[in-house]
Homo-oligomer: A and B are copies of this chain.
Amino acid sequence: MLEKNVETFIACGSEYEEAKIVLFGAPFDSTTSYRPGARFAGRAIRGESYGIETYSPYQDADLEDCRVFDSGELELCIGSSEAALLGISERTAAILDDGKLPIMLGGEHLVTLGAVREVIKRHPGLKIIHFDAHADLREDYLGARLSHACVIRRCHELLGDGSIFQFGIRSGDKSEFLWAKKGHTEMRRFDFEGLCGALESIKGSPVYLTVDLDVLDPSVFPGTGTPEAGGVSFTELLNAILLVARGSRLVGCDICELSPIYDQSGVSTAVACKLLRELIIAVSAGL
């Protein structure tokens, strides 16, 4: 008898009960203000993951040895932000309640809010480490408070001052930079300098890592809605992710804003796949 066609990110075929990490996709991009398409990221990452190897020469470890369950893409209501966030929160809650670590594949960056709402309920004192080209600290965007451009501001409402550490930021409204400077978030512009110190300062706290892939330079990662020149290199981002995964108590993560349609070479998707492999292996080592 033939088996059903199960599709997972490469080597993430564990049974749910045995898994320590659960992947899921949040195909939502309705608030994207410039170029939509991030809804297709999860499917692309899963489908193209067979172009990379499972072994990491960076960590000398193999994805095959991690226990990961890939639960596929959520079915989200396109066009309603609150409904979509609800769907994300439900999935996150289910994973956390089963004692597993959620890794979400966006979608646009707003999806982070859906996960963080649940993570903080179970992990008071949560800190967020945020890699991004954009500050995402607007109070509202063209009238909408639930927008990719406001997502970290919304998270701040849940976590409070001193809980959010931003790196790589190189774009935003003037008011966003001013607001951060007032101490609401720790913002490092352009690169990852100070990451080690930040990790040191929050040692022991639960940490949620959110990676907006447009923190990468567009030469490395053109496949995103709002490419922003002057970003970090692949190796810089990889090292930063490994630093966080190994140097903090991660309780959830996401990778957002791949928009495959804008990079027909497939390189952006391949970059996302490789970063996800490294993230999973590093997270897995700490579980």
A: which residues have CB within 8 A of B?
A: 1-8, 16-17, 22, 29-37, 39, 43, 46-47, 50-53, 55, 57, 60, 62, 69-73, 75, 77-81, 83, 94-95, 98, 142-144, 146-147, 169-174, 177, 189-190, 217-220, 222-223, 226-230, 234-235, 238, 261-267, 270-271, 274-275
Instruction: Report yes or no: B234 in contact with A229, Cβ–Cβ below 8 A.
Output: yes
Residues of B within 8 A of A79 (CB): 30-31, 81, 144, 146-147
* B223–A230 CB distance below 8 A: no
Instruction: Give A144 to B271 CA distance when docked, in angstroms.
Output: 28
Distance, CA A146 to CA B78, complexed state (A): 11
Q: Which of B1, B57, B171 contacts A172 (CB 8 A)?
A: B57
A265 partner residues in chain B, CB cutoff 8 A: 218, 222-223, 227, 262-264
7 tightest A-B contacts by CB?
A5-B72, A222-B265, A31-B79, A36-B36, A219-B219, A7-B7, A218-B267
Chain A contact residues: over half helix, strand or loop, or mixed? loop
CB distance from A133 to the nearest CB of B (A): 10
Known: A37-B36, A79-B147. A53 touches B227 (CB 8 A): no
Copies of this chain in its oligomeric complex:
6
A71 B274 Cβ-Cβ under 8 A: no
A143 touches B57 (CB 8 A): no
- Are B78 and A169 in contact, CB atoms less than 8 angstroms apart? no
**A221: nearest chain-B partner, CB-CB:** B219
Residues of B contacting A55 with CB < 8 Å? 172-174, 177
